[in-house]
Amino acid sequence: MKRLFALGACLAIPLLAVAPCGHQAVAQSVLDGSDKKAATPFTRSTLKTLETRFAGGHPRFRKLALHSTAEKKQVLCGEFSLSTVKAPADDSFVLFGATEGGDAPVVYEPKDIPTELDFREVNQWINHGADLEDLEEMGCVPEGSYRQYSDKLNLVLQHRKTNTTR
């Protein structure tokens, strides 16, 4: 019985690193570049992928959150900054999300949609919104985030259409 209890305790310790109360410690250790051992293998590999993808910037991570999908796959959400200062400004952070066994992590840089768009830029803004939609499906951004983005983009495009018909 004691062995079973000890085994259960040993197996539960790694799970504590991803429990809601453990997020701050994991995020802090990642942000300051210290001990990444507290993260799961999926988390470590995702962060390594992002570090490789943005090798010139040495990303700083924060607000890491890990949850599971209905298919029992892990989803990692968070933010990173490529700023070279020790304490990056909040507006320098971009959102990311990754699903275990999925493609490369999805990265979304929040940008304000301009009041007017050149016709050649429309596809760029539509594709930009697709990343936000992916993050919403992963549960990394609040539900309705993509809808707000899409509504604002459509409003700008409608305004452009009325100006071109004059």
pLDDT in tens, the chain (166 residues): 344 334 344 434 343 344 333 333 334 334 444 344 457 899 999 999 999 888 777 889 999 999 988 888 999 999 999 888 888 888 889 999 999 988 899 999 888 888 887 777 888 888 888 999 999 999 999 999 899 988 988 888 887 554 444 4
Is the C-alpha dihedral spanning 54, 71, 27, 62 positive or negative? positive
Give me the pLDDT at residue 160, please: 58
Give the separation between CA 155 and CA 75, rounded to whole angstroms.
Answer: 32
Give me the pLDDT at residue 122, please: 81
Give the separation between CA 72 and CA 28, rounded to whole angstroms.
Answer: 26
Give the separation between CA 110 and CA 40, rounded to whole angstroms.
Answer: 27
Give whole-number Cα distances, 42 to 68, 88, 133, in Å.
Answer: 12, 25, 22
User: Phi and psi of 97, rounded to 5°?
Assistant: -155, 150
Give me the pLDDT at residue 106, please: 92
Give me the pLDDT at residue 7, please: 39
Give me the pLDDT at residue 37, please: 42
- For residue 35, the enclosing domain spans 2-164
Which strands, in side-by-side order, build the sheet including 60-68? 60-68, 74-81, 93-99, 106-108
Give the separation between CA 136 and CA 147, rounded to whole angstroms.
Answer: 10
Nearest to 61 by CA among 85, 13, 19, 94: 94
Place of tokens 């009325």: 162
Give me the pLDDT at residue 161, please: 52
Tokens of 165: 């018909």
Give me the pLDDT at residue 115, please: 83
Instruction: Report the DSSP pairing between strands 74-81 and 93-99.
Output: antiparallel
Q: Which amino acid is at 18?
A: V
Structural domains in the chain (count): 1
Give me the pLDDT at residue 124, please: 85
Q: Which amino acid is at 122?
A: V
Give me the pLDDT at residue 111, please: 84
Give me the pLDDT at residue 138, please: 92
Q: What is the pTM of this model?
A: 0.67
Give me the pLDDT at residue 99, please: 93
